[in-house]
Amino acid sequence: MHYISLIYEYHENAEQLPDSDYQALIEQHRALQDPAQHAGFRGCGRLVASRQAVSVRHDNAQSLITDGPFAECKEILVGFYHVESDDLDGALAYARHIPTASMAGVELRPVDAGHCPPSSGSPKLLTEASTHPVYALLNYLDAEVYDALSEDERQQLVDENTRMAMRADEAGHYVFGHKLMSTLTSTSLRHGKIPYAMMDGPFAEAKEVLLGFHALRCADIETAARYAAALPEARIGVVEVREIDYLVY
Amino acid sequence: MEQLEITLKVARPKALATMIRLTRDFDLAEEAVQESLVRALPHWRQHGIPDNAVAWLVQTARHYVHDRQRHQRMVERHHHALQQTQLGADATTNPEQHDHAHLSDDMLRLIFTCFHPALAPEAQIALTLKTIAGLDSIAIARAFLLTPKTLDQRVTRAKRRIRDCGIAYQVPDTRELPERLDAVLRVIYLIYNQSYTVASGPDLLDVPLGETAIALTRLLCRLLPGHTEPLALLALLLMQHARADARTDADGLPIPLEQQDRRLWQRALINEGKVLIEKCFRQQPQAGPYLLQAAIAAIHNRAATPEDTDWPQIVQLYTLLEQRTDNPVITLNRAIALARADGPNAGLALLNTLADHPAMQRFQYFHTSKAALLEENGNPAEALQTWEYALTLCQNQAEQRYICKRIDLLQARTSQ
């Protein structure tokens, strides 16, 4: 099975590391991305600071784009790792390797079936290959709303996401996408007094939860936001658009 | 799927739960929430959906109740209830008070009231499907093969009983909670099983009973984080529901598990169920009955073909399940699994230990299982007798047709 580790950081800690610590952190991350050391590694990405995000939602049938993340949370999503593992324990073992220098915690969520895992083979650094940046479209929805959807409505969500992905792919903009399972399947590692303390459930205590994400390579954030506006989550939830400044797949 | 309809779908039961707490009157609360929904639609279309939709609905519903009070129309009937709850002075008048915790409490109160053991299971089901799930009487009545009138009477009686018996609108305390939660889960499972039975009934029904049961279980998982049993039941329901499209043929005849087209099984549900099972086992190594059943279903669902099924492990899980619950049906299932693992003879030997059990003598599946094993074991005469006996016990038309088909096939074979 495929799992995504969502990495969360506390706001104040995010950018205050001394240079030497920062270098050490990068080294630890690089080691995690070595397929020779970790056969399950499939990819990873780092998001830019959340103040550079835009949020896309519909208001009275008009798409509304606002600056900044969709919600002011204590914990912010800063990146993700994608691993393949036979079971949750294997994925957790990997997640425990994710360096903790300034990290609030990790939420581990299985990737839902029927969604494109990115191309297999040896992962490569995607950001260096093109002049255009890669943007993440982060699909958020109220967990209770998602639970209340019927199977047909869930399928409709998937179909509409697939349509957007195909359209972006035809334009040469699509990189990859993942749909995540419900947050009832989440397991989190919280780096508090006890490092990597395991807890049941999602990491951030927010009403809206991440349902999945797409990575698009396009000229600017406005183009990415236009794709975001076509997603059903923009209609019934919110889509956050943020650049991925480091991407290995 | 538009934001407005989805917001209303999620907000309605929450607003209702709060209004029932405020009015202590199911009918008045339903009427008030219904009225606020009617007002919400045009208003929200024009001005946009408010940030806190539930608070808006509750506020409007409260005004409605107030107006009625002022006009003295309902005063006599609801005098007592209104006086008791002092609508105007309640702390939750303030919309800011309708925060997540308050609403969750009200939702839990509503659930534990609808599923109160002082109500008969049929009453619990009828009340839950109407109030929490918001299904209409006609749909529920069809699913339970009742007339809408009978269904409505059940709901009315249940509400009256809540009022007359003074069933408190509250969440059971921690001491009581596990037992009460068990009772809730048992009835949700009944609702799911009804979806199973109607699906193979005389006509296919479009009532989303199975999905409603799953949504109720998800809701409980959200409201009671850290409790393993709701998650385990959810895993079990997902594992069973994954096979929904493969369970019946074009004529509505049930297809036994081993003959189902496994490509029709929904992988997404199986995968989610699998993750939940792993989670539950980690939380609670002493697995409860739902978790063990979910694990059994997962072993079936994991097998690419019937021959790949890990029958010895299924036998083991049924043995564990037998130790947890005193239910001869579990032994019956273990016998079927044992027949697959060690041959029909072993299965029949275990089945025969149940033959004197009064519940089994009347239980159609005991006899159909025995008949199938006798056939496999090369006793066509005894098998035929057993099929015919099973037919006399069968109530469901689709299953009757299935048994008749088996009898015809067997007779055709023996007469050759």
- Any idea where the domains of chain A sit in the sequence? 2-248
Cα–Cα nearest to B214, from B198, B227, B195: B195
Cα–Cα nearest to A56, from A249, A225, A243: A225
Please compute the mean of the pLDDT values over residues A98-102 and round it to a whole number.
72
Residues on chain A touching B10 (C-beta within 8 angstroms): 142, 144-145, 148
Cβ burial of B73 (10 Å; 0-12, 13-18, 19+) is exposed
Does residue B170 carry a pLDDT above 70?
yes
Q: How far is B410 from chain A (nearest CA, A)?
A: 40
ipTM above 0.90, yes or no: no
Percent of chain B exceeding pLDDT 70 equals 90
Residues on chain B touching A145 (C-beta within 8 angstroms): 6-7, 10
Q: Is A14 at the interface with chain B, CB within 8 A?
A: no
Return the amino acid letter for B156. T
Q: Where are the beta strands (DSSP E) in B16-147?
A: none
At B23, list the tokens: 């009015």
Does residue A103 carry a pLDDT above 80?
no
pLDDT of residue B207: 52
Please compute the mean of the pLDDT values over residues B379-408 and round it to a whole number.
91
Does residue B270 carry a pLDDT above 60?
yes
pLDDT of residue A80: 95
Return the amino acid letter for A169. D
Q: How far is B91 from chain A (nearest CA, A)?
A: 24
pLDDT of residue B305: 94
Asked whether B354 and B334 are in contact (CB, 8 A), the reply is no
Cα–Cα nearest to B106, from B75, B131, B81, B142: B131
pLDDT of residue A14: 52
Pairing of strands A174-179, A75-84: unpaired
Return the amino acid letter for A209. V
At B60, list the tokens: 């409007």
- Is the Cβ pair B271, A1 closer than 8 Å? yes
Torsion, CA B410, CA B411, CA B412, CA B416, rounded to 10:
110
Q: Residue A153: which of B1, B222, B278 has the nearest Cβ?
A: B1
pLDDT of residue B79: 55
Averaged pLDDT of chain B: 87
At B300, list the tokens: 């079936």
Distance CA A140, CA A143 (A): 9
Q: Is B285 at the interface with chain A, CB within 8 A?
A: no
Q: Which of A147, A189, A205 to mutate to test the interface with B (most CBs of B within 10 A)?
A: A147
pLDDT of residue A15: 60
Q: For A112-170, what is each residue's pLDDT tens digit?
A: 854 454 454 566 677 666 688 999 999 999 988 888 888 888 889 999 999 999 999 89
pLDDT of residue B96: 42
Q: Where are the beta strands (DSSP E) in chain A?
A: 2-10, 41-47, 54-59, 62-67, 75-84, 105-110, 134-142, 174-179, 187-190, 197-200, 208-217, 238-248
Please compute the mean of the pLDDT values over residues A92-97 and round it to a whole number.
92
Does residue B89 carry a pLDDT above 50?
no
pLDDT of residue B48: 86
At B5, list the tokens: 């309809």
Query: Residue A115 — left, alpha, or beta (φ > 0 → left; ψ -120 to 50 → alpha)?
Result: beta
Sign of the alpha-carbon dihedral angle for A18, A24, A27, A29: negative
**Number of CB pairs, chain A paired with chain B, less than 8 A apart:** 79
pLDDT of residue B308: 94
User: Residue A44 has what DSSP assignment?
Assistant: E
pLDDT range class, residue B93, cuts 50, 70, 90: very low
Percent of chain B exceeding pLDDT 90 equals 59
- Is the Cβ pair B222, A147 closer than 8 Å? yes
Cβ burial of B305 (10 Å; 0-12, 13-18, 19+) is exposed
Q: Find the length of chain B.
A: 416
Please compute the mean of the pLDDT values over residues B48-58 and round it to a whole number.
91
Chain B residue with CA closest to A156: the answer is B1
Distance CA B257, CA B368 (A): 14
Please compute the mean of the pLDDT values over residues B292-312 and round it to a whole number.
96
Q: How far is B380 from chain A (nearest CA, A)?
A: 44
pLDDT of residue B168: 86
Does residue B88 carry a pLDDT above 70?
no
Q: Is B3 at the interface with chain A, CB within 8 A?
A: yes
Please compute the mean of the pLDDT values over residues B194-201 and round it to a whole number.
62
Sign of the alpha-carbon dihedral angle for B395, B396, B398, B403: negative
Q: Which of B2, B5, B6 to mutate to test the interface with A (most CBs of A within 10 A)?
A: B6
Cα–Cα nearest to B227, from A24, A184, A208: A184
Chain A residue with CA closest to B208: the answer is A150
Asked whether B406 and B399 are in contact (CB, 8 A), the reply is no
Does residue B194 carry a pLDDT above 70?
yes
Q: Is A114 at the interface with chain B, CB within 8 A?
A: yes
Pairing of strands A174-179, A54-59: unpaired
Does residue B320 carry a pLDDT above 80?
yes
Asked whether A80 and A215 are in contact (CB, 8 A), the reply is no
pLDDT of residue A200: 84
Q: Residue B271: which of A89, A110, A236 has the nearest Cβ?
A: A110
> CA of B251: how far to CAs of B210, B245, B246, B255, B402, in Å?
20, 13, 12, 11, 11
Going from N- to C-terminal start, the domains of chain B cover 1-92, 100-225
CATH homologous superfamily of A2-248: Dimeric alpha+beta barrel (3.30.70.1060)
Averaged pLDDT of chain A: 85
Helix/strand number for chain B, H first, E second: 20, 0
Q: For A17-75, what is each residue's pLDDT tens digit?
A: 677 777 888 888 999 998 888 989 999 999 988 888 999 988 767 888 888 887 767 78
pLDDT of residue A192: 75
Q: Is A199 at the interface with chain B, CB within 8 A?
A: no
User: Residue B245 has what DSSP assignment?
Assistant: G
Cα–Cα nearest to A196, from A51, A112, A97, A52: A97
Q: Residue B1: which of A185, A187, A236 has the nearest Cβ?
A: A236
- Is the Cβ pair B10, A149 closer than 8 Å? no
Torsion, CA A42, CA A48, CA A52, CA A53, rounded to 10:
20
